[in-house]
């Protein structure tokens, strides 16, 4: 390999380290690497910018608007709520959840699907007496499996299709991945139904007061002369509706894990932890005052409480709760915080540093959830005290437009890109979304990351790095294309657990195609190995956006993902590697 090849591999290695560290946004890491390769002369300006006009990238951008229309109009809720039913067991609940969700995920982007369904599934589980921790991870996994059904089920499929078109390999149809995707959905859902109820934790027992795996932390002060002053802590525990005192700050004295016999003093600052419902009821407990910067407002008609999950794109990630930035940025106050199912202890609430996946209970004005930027900054959970929404004409319009888009693309009436653009125009014309809402629903970070990753893939191709790596892979696997497909699949699956799924697909696809060319066999099995492996992210909460979304609300640990996700990853991988060369034979010209 020449100098350009080594520069390309070095740039890709730097991107992998940056993304795996989770400290650099994906779009900045990939765009920075693309500009570095431009400066070194590995690729030219046209190749850097080509990704921004790629059909796959533009289709992803348009589908963000379609998904937002389905979510905000209530169309997805209209489709899913009747399908959930009232099963009597956790096994039945997982089955009733995973089957329809995986089917709908073949046509609706995974992230808004999970964002919309999380509060629905959590409330449904509580009504059934099943802890949400038994259901939220299967919700994420079902959307990932369903995304493999069609070309529009996940942005990863569109990225692979766009790269193949850019490389002159031809276009993939709407249902190209459907046969294998359907097999994986059946097998994957079966694994979830059998194992999820047994392997996932019951973080809060079904018979618990609130059956809520989140433990929010809130600060309150004991009023001097109030009913709790000079009384044992047991009285507070009895009257606070499920809140558990974590520690007592008494000036120079700090009492961690106080026992029920500890006598409270007026002015004591209490760190209380418990489910959201108990925090909501706290303002009705006389003798306690919420910390000054986090007090419930008196104008209850105009302000209410919202549970949100902090996304990795929120501009306040890395800032402290007590800095006032949340109030300045959103006009709302953080009441309580939960992190990955545990109360945040050992530090004052004001000093807590916000992280992606944190569940926040915030006091906000009416209309907080409908602001265009909220879908980017937060994954919404529950708006407490908000009137129930009714399914109106906008939901039916969004559903009709989405069905028409999919039908037009499926029968070949128009290309997928034009069908998606037409759907966006119809959504705006029908006033399902305003122009501002449509524009804000496009995740620019994802779009830029996809476009920049195309430039890196092109650099690997033109510099000879892809061919060099392909030669190394074939030297390991010999002249056995099936083994080479297995190596490509495993490499992509490992990469997607550490970096974004789209970046993994864009970086490894050129190597996969070069491997096929080196072996003199059809490229299609290698391209499909990359497509399916890049989507199969089950083993870590950081490998896929939907896993991160349910991590905190479900109270999961890394071990929960490794146990259930590891088995699912193994099953999906074995089935994929076994069937890909059967469905797309090596002997068929690519």
Sorted by where each begins, the domain ranges of the chain are 214-388
Residue pair 522/590 in contact by the 8 Å Cβ criterion: yes
Determine the average pLDDT of the residues in 71-85: 76
Secondary structure class of 132 (helix, strand, coil): helix
pLDDT at residue 519 greater than cutoff 50: yes
Distance CA 489, CA 361 (A): 41
The whole-model pTM stands at 0.71
pLDDT at 350: 59
Mean local confidence (pLDDT), 493-516: 83
The one-character DSSP state at 456 is H
Contact yes or no for 121/80 (Cβ under 8 A)? no
Strand partners, 248: 255, 270
Mean pLDDT of 510-516: 88
Per-residue CA distances from 92 to 84, 87, 186 (Å): 10, 5, 16
Residue 241 main-chain phi, psi, to 5 deg:
70, 35
Helix ranges restricted to H, 309-415: 325-330, 374-377, 393-410
Distances 349 to 291, 294, 320, 339 between C-alpha atoms, Å: 10, 10, 9, 12
Q: Count how many Cα atoms sit within 13 Å of the Cα of residue 567 in the half-sphere of its side chain.
A: 16
**Quick one: fold of 214-388?**
Alpha-Beta Plaits (3.30.70)
Could you tell me if 287 and 220 are in contact, meaning their C-beta atoms sit under 8 angstroms apart?
no
* pLDDT tens digits along 376-420: 777 655 665 544 444 578 888 988 998 898 888 877 788 888 888
Q: Who has greater pLDDT, 463 or 252?
A: 463
């Amino acid at each position: 390999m020449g100098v350009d090849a080594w520069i390309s591999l070095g740039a890709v290695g730097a991107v992998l380290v940056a993304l795996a560290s989770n400290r650099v946004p994906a779009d900045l890491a990939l765009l920075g690497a693309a500009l570095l390769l431009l400066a070194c002369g590995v690729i030219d300006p046209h190749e850097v910018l080509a990704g921004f006009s790629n059909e796959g990238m533009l289709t992803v951008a348009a589908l963000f608007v379609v998904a937002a229309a389905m979510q905000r109009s209530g169309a997805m809720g209209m489709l899913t709520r009747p399908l959930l039913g009232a099963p009597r067991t956790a096994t039945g609940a997982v089955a009733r959840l995973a089957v329809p969700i995986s089917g709908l995920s073949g046509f609706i982007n995974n992230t808004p699907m999970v964002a919309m369904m999380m509060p629905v599934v959590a409330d449904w589980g509580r009504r059934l007496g099943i802890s949400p921790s038994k259901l939220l991870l299967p919700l994420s996994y079902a959307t990932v499996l369903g995304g493999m059904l069609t070309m529009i089920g996940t942005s990863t499929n569109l990225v692979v299709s766009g790269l193949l078109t850019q490389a002159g390999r031809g276009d993939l149809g709407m249902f190209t991945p459907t046969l294998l995707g359907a097999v994986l959905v059946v097998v994957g859902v079966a694994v979830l139904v059998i194992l999820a109820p047994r392997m996932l934790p019951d973080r809060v027992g079904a018979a618990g007061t609130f059956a809520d795996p989140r433990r929010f932390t809130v600060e309150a002060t004991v009023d001097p002369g109030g009913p709790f002053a000079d009384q044992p802590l047991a009285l507070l525990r009895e009257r606070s509706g499920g809140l558990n005192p974590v520690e007592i700050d008494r000036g120079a004295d700090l009492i961690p894990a106080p026992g029920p016999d500890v006598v409270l003093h007026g002015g004591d600052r209490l760190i209380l932890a418990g489910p959201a419902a108990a925090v909501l009821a706290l303002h009705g407990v006389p003798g306690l005052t919420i910390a000054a910067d986090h007090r419930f407002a008196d104008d209850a008609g105009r302000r209410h409480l919202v549970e949100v999950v902090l996304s990795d794109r929120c501009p306040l990630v890395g800032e402290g709760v007590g800095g006032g930035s949340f109030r300045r940025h959103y006009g709302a106050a953080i009441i309580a915080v939960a992190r990955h199912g545990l109360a945040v202890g050992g530090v004052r609430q004001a000093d807590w540093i916000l992280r992606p996946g944190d569940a926040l209970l915030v006091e906000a004005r009416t209309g907080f959830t409908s602001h265009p930027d909220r879908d980017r900054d937060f994954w919404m959970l529950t708006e407490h005290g908000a009137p129930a929404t009714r399914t109106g004409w906008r939901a039916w319009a969004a559903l009709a437009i989405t069905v028409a888009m999919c039908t037009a693309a499926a029968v070949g009436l128009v290309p997928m890109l034009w069908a998606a653009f037409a759907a966006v125009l119809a959504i705006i014309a029908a006033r399902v979304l305003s122009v501002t809402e449509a524009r804000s629903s496009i995740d620019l970070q994802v779009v830029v990351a996809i476009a920049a990753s195309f430039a890196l893939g092109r650099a690997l191709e033109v510099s000879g790095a892809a061919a060099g790596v392909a030669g190394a892979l074939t030297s390991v696997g010999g002249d056995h294309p099936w083994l080479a497909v297995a190596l490509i699949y495993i490499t992509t699956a490992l990469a997607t657990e550490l970096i974004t799924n789209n970046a993994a697909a864009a970086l490894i696809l050129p190597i996969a195609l070069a491997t096929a060319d080196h072996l003199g066999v059809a490229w299609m099995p290698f391209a499909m190995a990359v497509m399916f492996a890049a989507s199969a992210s089950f083993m870590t909460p950081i490998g896929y956006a939907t896993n991160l979304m349910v991590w905190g609300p479900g109270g999961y640990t890394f071990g929960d993902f490794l146990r259930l996700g590891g088995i699912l990853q193994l099953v999906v991988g074995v089935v994929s590697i076994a069937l890909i060369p059967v469905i797309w034979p090596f002997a068929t010209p690519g």
